[in-house]
Structure 1
Amino acid sequence: MHTVTTNYALSGWRGEFVDATTEQAYRKHSEAESARSLRRALLVWAALVVLFGLIDYPVLGHGYDFQLLFGWRLATAFVLLLLYWQLRRNPSLVSDGYAVTAAEVFGSVLFFMLYFLRHDMVSWVIGVVAIALLALFMFVPNRVHLSLMAATFLSGGMMVCVAARGLGIDKVIGLGFILALPTAVGFFTALRWQLAQRRQYVLLMRVVSSNRELQDEIKRREALEAELKRQATTDPLTGLFNRRQYEMLFQRERERCVRLGQEMTLCVMDLDHFKRVNDQYGHDAGDAVLKHVAQHLSCALRHSDIVGRFGGEEFILILPDTGLEQAVAVLNRLREELAQTPVPVRGQLLPVSATFGVTMVQPSDTDLEATIRRADVALYEGKGAGRNRVMTA
């Protein structure tokens, strides 16, 4: 919590985040909208600079003063339009504010020239400067302290112009007070606006953070729910279905096959001489064999087939939409593949074989136990006949 407070701390006079990373993130967030606002301001500014040149001609004529003043107006408009074009290509120029400030300083020179070249409208020029000072803060998007620098340049320049005409220190100081008023109003208005925008950004980021945390919590709960479901339905060692799950799936598939008139088979599979593996190589080796067999069964059978661990070294195979003859062929292929893929344990290859007892699921088999008993009979016949074979019942 302390870190969040520090990251979102605001400077009271700059109107910006104290933390540089947070400030950069805010500027990036508001960059597009600020660039659009600035481009509109630049177009209006450039248009006004040129249009107001029309009132110079009746007073100055086509002489040198008019050409100098109108040339500077065109230069100012060119700088503003150049910045407008650059902003379309690179909106990030609005974020640091230095290009905007340079354009503001360049445009301020026009007022100094007006003061000296238009003697008939000195009071009007000072009034326009006061309006321009407000516009620097409220109409042209920029960082507050940089706008203050441009305003100070414009105000100081006008005071120097007044002093250069020898109007006396009292006039200079009076002008300073006059221009300080729109500067102060504009500065504190812009500062308040910048602080308000950043506080809204803080609220937005906290909402986004809360939503992200909520989404993460939802994903975590979904993952936990999926894991709990997996644990409730699968054998922890092999990852195959446990008894409760394959019993439920058996009932569902049996009812479907009866309804559609399809055949269905069930097989009990038992690994041959598994106790010998545990006794000779240890239970770790036995677990490795069980995992290997489980993986092989899952990959070799169809997605619609049901594979579960019956207990110990025994497995249940439920084959929907499969007749007895087809099931025997599938299981024989499975038995041969299993015998051809020994399990690597501690640098040794342990051979694996299994005996299969398979039976048809009858419409009268209302529960799994009756079907398993028939498959068990076939399984024990297979063990008695020498193991590693498929027997039917």
Structure 2
Amino acid sequence: MAKEKDRYALSAWRGEFLHQDVEGAYREHVKEGTARHLIVALRVWAFLLVSFGWLDYIGLGLSEGFYHLLAMRLFSALLLLGLSVIVRHRPELAKDGGAVSILEAIGFLLFFIIYFVRPDIVIWNIGVTVIILISLYIFIPNRLVNSNVTALFGILGTLYCLSLGGTEPRLLVGIFFLLSFPAIVGYFASRRLNLSSRQQYALFMETVQVNQSLQAEIKRREELEVELKLQATTDPLTGLLNRRQYETLFRREQERVRRHAGKLSLCVTDLDHFKKINDDHGHDVGDQVLKHISDLFVETLRHTDIVGRFGGEEFILLLPDTDLDNAMVVIDRLREKLQASPVEADDKEIRITATFAVTEVNAEDVTIEDVIRRADKALYRGKEAGRNQVVAS
């Protein structure tokens, strides 16, 4: 948590995040809003520039000076409107404020012309400069550092123009303090806004990160729940249903058979000579054989059929909506496919066969054990008769 707070540390005088990557992310986050605000500010600025041309006309008439000032105002307004159009299509220009700062500097340079064309309104121009300085910080969105540089350029440029016009040094000092006051007020007001907006962004990002952590934890718990449920219902080696689960499904199918007078067949499968496979090739190969058989059963049977591991090399197959005759056909087809699907191990083909005992669940069967006992008797007969066959019970 401490590191996270350090990440969002702020520079008190710049009003920005100390970490450049965080500051860049913040500017990207507010880019669209900053661009919209800037477009409005540029258009209002252009409108006021042209509107004040009326005062030039009143003071100068249709003189050469008036036309010079009018050209200056129109040129400045075109620059402002041009930038507003560009920012509308490229809002990223509003992020760093470089283009705005250059335009502000050009605006000051053009504004300085008024001091020489209309020396009669110097006091008015100084008052307008005060308003401009406050607007640089409050009205026009820009980085605080950029606004400071532009404001300093405007103050020093104004003093230079006044000094060229013959203003006494002592008056220049007073005007310097007069112009510094709105710049200082604007700086602290803008600084407060910058810090406040970034603090809100930091809180927002921390909230987002907390939510992401919570979502990740929820997802992890859901995955764990699925994994635990899988472990509780499946055999870890083969992925087949374990005894607890297939017995639950058997009861469900048995109840459905009773309600709808349907059919349900059960098959007990025992691999032939599986101990010899383990002895000759090792238990790893034996496990490979069990996985191979499990996959083959699942792929061959219907998705509604239930395949479970009974224990060791024995499997339980439940065939819903299947009577004994049809179950015999299905299981014999499964037996033939198993016989024709050897396992590759130790550069050898291991032929696999199994004995299958099939029985149909009837009304007298109370539990799955009743059905399995009946199938086990048939399975014993199949082994006695030579294995690799399907026996009915």
TM-score by length of 2: 0.98
Correspondence for 1:118: 118
Give the superposition deviation at 1:183.
0.1
**What CA distance in whole angstroms lies between the structure 2 residues aligned with 1:200 and 1:339?**
70
Correspondence for 1:128: 128
**What CA distance in whole angstroms lies between the structure 1 residues aligned with 2:289 and 2:76?**
84
Give the superposition deviation at 1:16.
0.8
**What CA distance in whole angstroms lies between the structure 2 residues aligned with 1:181 and 1:319?**
91
Correspondence for 2:204: 204
Q: Does 1:61 align with 2:61?
A: yes
Equivalences for residues 1-393 of structure 1 within 5 A: 1-393=1-393
**What CA distance in whole angstroms lies between the structure 2 residues aligned with 1:47 and 1:301?**
80
One-letter code of the match for 2:6? T
Equivalent pair of 1:332/1:389 in contact (CA under 8 Å)? yes
C-alpha distance after superposition, 1:66-100 (max 9, x if no partner): 11111111111111111111111111101111001
**What CA distance in whole angstroms lies between the structure 2 residues aligned with 1:329 and 1:56?**
105
- Three-state SS of the structure 1 residue aligned to 2:127 is helix
TM-score by length of 1: 0.98
Equivalent pair of 1:155/1:176 in contact (CA under 8 Å)? yes
- Three-state SS of the structure 2 residue aligned to 1:365 is coil
**What CA distance in whole angstroms lies between the structure 2 residues aligned with 1:134 and 1:366?**
91
One-letter code of the match for 1:244? R
**Kindly, what percent of the aligned residue pairs are identical?**
50
Give the superposition deviation at 1:199.
0.7
**What CA distance in whole angstroms lies between the structure 1 residues aligned with 2:94 and 2:292?**
63
**What CA distance in whole angstroms lies between the structure 2 residues aligned with 1:302 and 1:84?**
67
With 139-148 and 326-335 compared, the bigger mean Cα shift is at 326-335
Q: Alignment length, in residue pairs?
A: 393
- CA-atom RMSD in angstroms: 1.1
Give unpaired runs (5+ residues) of structure 2. Answer: none
One-letter code of the match for 2:193? W
One-letter code of the match for 1:78? L
**What CA distance in whole angstroms lies between the structure 1 residues aligned with 2:291 and 2:170?**
98
- Three-state SS of the structure 2 residue aligned to 1:391 is strand
- Three-state SS of the structure 2 residue aligned to 1:308 is strand
With 299-308 and 1-10 compared, the bigger mean Cα shift is at 1-10
One-letter code of the match for 1:166? G
C-alpha distance after superposition, 1:76-133 (max 9, x if no partner): 1111111111111111101111001011111112331222222332211111110110
- Three-state SS of the structure 1 residue aligned to 2:279 is helix
Give the superposition deviation at 1:295.
1.1
Give the superposition deviation at 1:2.
4.7
- Three-state SS of the structure 2 residue aligned to 1:326 is helix
Equivalent pair of 1:278/1:286 in contact (CA under 8 Å)? yes
**What CA distance in whole angstroms lies between the structure 2 residues aligned with 1:9 and 1:301?**
63
Equivalent pair of 1:111/1:129 in contact (CA under 8 Å)? no
Give the superposition deviation at 1:55.
2.0
**What CA distance in whole angstroms lies between the structure 2 residues aligned with 1:201 and 1:255?**
60
Give the superposition deviation at 1:321.
1.1
C-alpha distance after superposition, 1:166-219 (max 9, x if no partner): 111111111100000000000111011101111111111110000000000001
Give the superposition deviation at 1:390.
1.1
**What CA distance in whole angstroms lies between the structure 1 residues aligned with 2:55 and 2:144?**
33
**What CA distance in whole angstroms lies between the structure 2 residues aligned with 1:221 and 1:292?**
32
One-letter code of the match for 2:328? V
**What CA distance in whole angstroms lies between the structure 1 residues aligned with 2:183 and 2:134?**
6
Give the superposition deviation at 1:305.
1.1
C-alpha distance after superposition, 1:18-37 (max 9, x if no partner): 11111111111111111111
Q: 4+ runs of 1 displaced by more than 4 Å?
A: none
One-letter code of the match for 1:371? V
One-letter code of the match for 1:162? L
With 121-130 and 5-14 compared, the bigger mean Cα shift is at 5-14
C-alpha distance after superposition, 1:38-62 (max 9, x if no partner): 1111111111111111221122122
**What CA distance in whole angstroms lies between the structure 2 residues aligned with 1:207 and 1:390?**
64
